[in-house]
Amino acid sequence: DIQLTQSPSSMSASLGDRVSLTCQSSQGIGNYLSWYQHKPGKPPKPMIYYATNLADGVPSRFSGSRSGSDYSLTISSLESEDTAIYYCLQYDEYPPTFGAGTKLELK
Amino acid sequence: QVQLKESGPGLVQPSQTLSLTCTVSGFSLTSYNVHWVRQPPGKGLEWMGRMRYNGDTSYNSALKSRLSISRDTSKNQVFLKMNSLQTDDTGTYYCTRETIAAHFDYWGQGVMVTVSS
């Protein structure tokens, strides 16, 4: 199975900070990488799909990028509502696999 | 609009079978794939399996011997059955729709399942 390694596992940042989360794939997955925001008591919310595409209704401060097998989710200016756990998912090859998540908190 | 909703028992005894239903609206099961994903308390997301638009199924190899996914297109429902439940099967179970862009665009609210005697 393809392994996705997310880093850091947790982090804290201040309001207005630029934040970048990383997901590294153990094998080539092309652009079949998506990001999900997960808050307690709610279902995961799609944020980025196909590595760089913003999902419907997601604020423009979120963006996705790719460099080889490294994928990033960037928040240009952190807001309080962005605190959550963020998961990446690869769906290039079966089975789909999730990263372990990055917990993002406010400093 | 597109909706998915999981239903099922909140409590299951160890060694028993879990039966969950995902009822969808706003789209056709013959046009979209539906997946099951779960999350144990305090842990990450785990993909369980998929019902394809054409009725084919795929399963997580770690669960394959215990898991079965089926559907009733006339009722817009996808079913999950997993036998021989243990305490580490406790968690929140979600159904989710797959899009053409190979991601999960709509999710149910999830159903919490506790395995305990």
Segment B30-52, tens digit of pLDDT: 999 999 999 999 999 999 999 99
Average pLDDT over residues B85-95: 97
Query: For B111, which DSSP code?
Result: E
For B59-68, the pLDDT digits (tens) are: 999 999 999 9
- The answer to whether B92 and B6 have CB atoms below 8 angstroms apart is no
Euclidean distance between CA atoms B62 and A32, whole angstroms:
23
Model pLDDT, residue A18: 98
Model pLDDT, residue B32: 97
Stretch (H or E) spanning B105: strand B104-107
Between the alpha carbon of residue B58 and those of residues A53, A99, B46, B78, B84, the distances in Å are 27, 20, 14, 13, 19
Beta bridge partners of B58: B50
Chain B interface disruption, residue of A10, A90, A98, most B CBs within 10 A: A98
Question: Inter-chain contact A43–B107, Cβ cutoff 8 Å?
Answer: yes
Stretch (H or E) spanning A37: strand A33-38
Query: What is the identity of the amino acid at A38?
Result: H
Between the alpha carbon of residue B18 and those of residues A37, A46, B29, B65, B113, the distances in Å are 27, 27, 22, 14, 9
Report the residue count for chain B: 117
Closest-CA distance, B46 to chain A, in angstroms, reads 7
Kindly report which listed range (A16-20, B102-106, B107-111) carries the lowest average pLDDT score: B102-106
Task: Using an 8 Å CB-CB cutoff, list chain B residues near A55.
Answer: 103, 105
* Tens digits of pLDDT across chain A (107 residues): 999 999 999 999 999 999 999 999 999 999 999 999 999 999 999 999 999 999 999 999 999 999 999 999 999 999 999 999 999 999 999 999 999 999 999 99
Model pLDDT, residue B102: 80
Closest-CA distance, B89 to chain A, in angstroms, reads 18
As given in the structure block, the two tokens for residue A97 are 């696999």
Model pLDDT, residue B100: 77
- pLDDT above 80 for B110: yes
- pLDDT above 80 for B108: yes
Model pLDDT, residue A85: 98
Residue A61: how many CB atoms within 10 A of its CB?
14
Residue of B nearest to A102 (CA): B44
As given in the structure block, the two tokens for residue A5 are 């390694």
Question: Inter-chain contact B99–A49, Cβ cutoff 8 Å?
Answer: yes
